[in-house]
Structure 1
């Protein structure tokens, strides 16, 4: 029942977008989420799977195919589709898999692989896509992601090494991560809703087109992930491919592209959070009925 809170958070973000003033907290809340997710994680080279590389190739291919399919009809729309689809696995993806009692290690490696590889190749691809002279440095993109990811991981390893009783108590408090997620969903949705309200009151046709294409991309990637994952990793692969690091691409769109292109990642925030909320709700309902 508590998973309905995610839907409430999305609705509140759309109707009452006052949380946009605090979107700077999203990164730090994600670090808190990751901290709880990493507490009982086992890091092992055996987690690396061929499916991780299929996910990466699918991610890059989907973004380029989206761009070239739409480009003959509308260049701006094509750029928006590209920057929306190219976003790597979200930092919060392992958190969602943790809440679903899935294989967090699988999603964790996808998080590292997609963020590092996409960060490396984007400075080479973006100038060709946007016809811009702006330079995107490696450190501008990679370092913030690595810092957000590594600090919680290092902290959990240190706590386990220094005090096992404290580590065990923190694991018992792991359910707190769900409520941190609810706050983060509200803030992200609030920021997206506020951006649309203040920046795109005109050109509604273009807004609808971007929303429609973004919905298709979101649905396609989540579904494709289920097929890639197969029986063993269906949920993990779906989350790895479908749940995106939208704060990453929102920053790229605002900084290096036409401001309108930011609507793709902004809409994706709404769509992926809606899907994740419903997915967690049905997972919880199924789990409760079988227990």
Structure 2
């Protein structure tokens, strides 16, 4: 993760003429990343228990309430809080959770619920948060749905078909499951590069705003790790709760931000990547010492 962040920043500074058009490939990387992730699912054993349902309801409720609370103070900060909170769980979260000694069955279920939720709900929420109202709302919702639903759900359908009807293809995906990490890293490089290019194009008087966006993302990050720990404790799976709410797929969130929100919120999402990496690195270090 730190390497991807650094490469993304340098790419945005040195080769913006390559990074910007390369972002057009992001949906394909996301689809492949999700396909390899879904290939590890045992669809027969997936049970959506109370914990993942509670977590997803909590996540969306807090995101909406935070947006409403901040909107009249600063609409940009409201968008930043919303996208940091609504962002789906990182596909690498089960890996980190396993390193921390968690039972990942619940987290895998939450991962599936998280991506289904973002595919179905964000087409209705993003137009509102992005400022689209009135007669344009349904048109914008439909436009977003046409892009997001196939991107998120089609890999799930393909993975299911492979598992049940094309076992060789399924075996190939499982054998090369590690490629999802590299696809995620490439996606992160591209979106961080685009965010860097965008930030550099802003006037210097925007620096205080960018610091504010990074601060909002820090509060959102710490809050979600703490809230996830509390929810996990309630259901007897602290690590799964912590990783499920705290560790985010910022690559997808940044793509959504550039497409449908104020692109400046990509600053806070880039910062969120740093914050969550610091927290997870600390947890892994402390786990190793114990």
Which residue in 2 is equivalent to 1:204? 207
Q: Distance in 2 between matches of 1:217 and 1:244?
A: 11
Q: Unaligned regions of 5+ residues in structure 1, if any?
A: 1-5
Task: Work out whether residues 31 and 151 of structure 2, in 8 Å CA contact, stay in contact via their aligned partners in 1.
Answer: no
Are residues 114 and 278 of structure 1, via their aligned partners in 2, closer, same or farther at CA, if it must alter by over 3 Å?
closer
Q: Indicate the SS of the match to 1:57.
A: helix
Report 1:37-76 matches (<5 A): 37-44=37-44, 47-76=47-76
2:9 aligned with 1:14: yes
Q: What is the root-mean-square deviation of aligned Cα atoms in Å?
A: 3.7
- What is the CA distance between 1:236 and its match in structure 2? 2.4
| Partners of 2:188 and 2:131 in 1: CA distance | 34
Shift of the alpha carbon at 1:239?
Answer: 2.6
Per-residue deviation at 1:241?
1.8
Deviations 1:228-273 (A, max 9, x none): 122843232223222334455445444444x3xx333442244235
Spell out, residue by residue over 1:101-122, the C-alpha distance to the aligned partner (whole angstroms, 9 max, x if none): 7545433322332333344344
Please state how far the C-alpha of 1:202 moved relative to its aligned partner: 3.9
What is the TM-score with the length of structure 2 in the denominator? 0.74
- Residues of 2 paired with 1:20 and 1:91: CA distance? 23
| Distance of aligned partners of 1:129 and 1:277 in 2 relative to their CA distance in 1, 3 Å threshold | closer
Call closer, same or farther: CA 1:176–1:67 in 2, change over 3 Å.
closer
Between the two proteins, the alignment pairs up a number of residues equal to 277
Change (3 A) 1:58 1:156: same
TM-superposed deviation, 1:175? 4.9
Give 1:136's aligned residue: 141
Structure 1 residues 44 and 222: alpha-carbon distance in aligned structure 2, compared to 1, 3 A threshold? farther
Residues 97 and 26 (structure 1 numbering): CA distance in 2 closer, same or farther, change over 3 Å? farther
Q: Is residue 264 from structure 1 mapped to residue 265 from structure 2 by the alignment?
A: yes
Question: Which residue in 1 is equivalent to 2:113?
Answer: 113
Q: Match for 1:147 among 151, 154, 160?
A: 154
Native 8 Å contact 1:246 1:265 kept in 2: no
Moved more, 9-18 or 179-188: 179-188
Distance across 1 between alignment mates of 2:187 and 2:24: 10
Deviation at 1:185, TM superposition (A): 3.7
Alignment of 1:155-166 (within 5 A): 155=162, 158=165, 161-162=167-168
Does residue 245 of structure 2 align to residue 244 of structure 1?
Answer: no
CA positional deviation for 1:62? 1.6
The superposition leaves residues 137-172 of structure 1 with CA deviations (integer Å, 9 ceiling, x where unpaired) of 13333222112444345445555x348xx93x8756
The alignment's TM-score, normalised by the length of structure 1, stands at 0.73
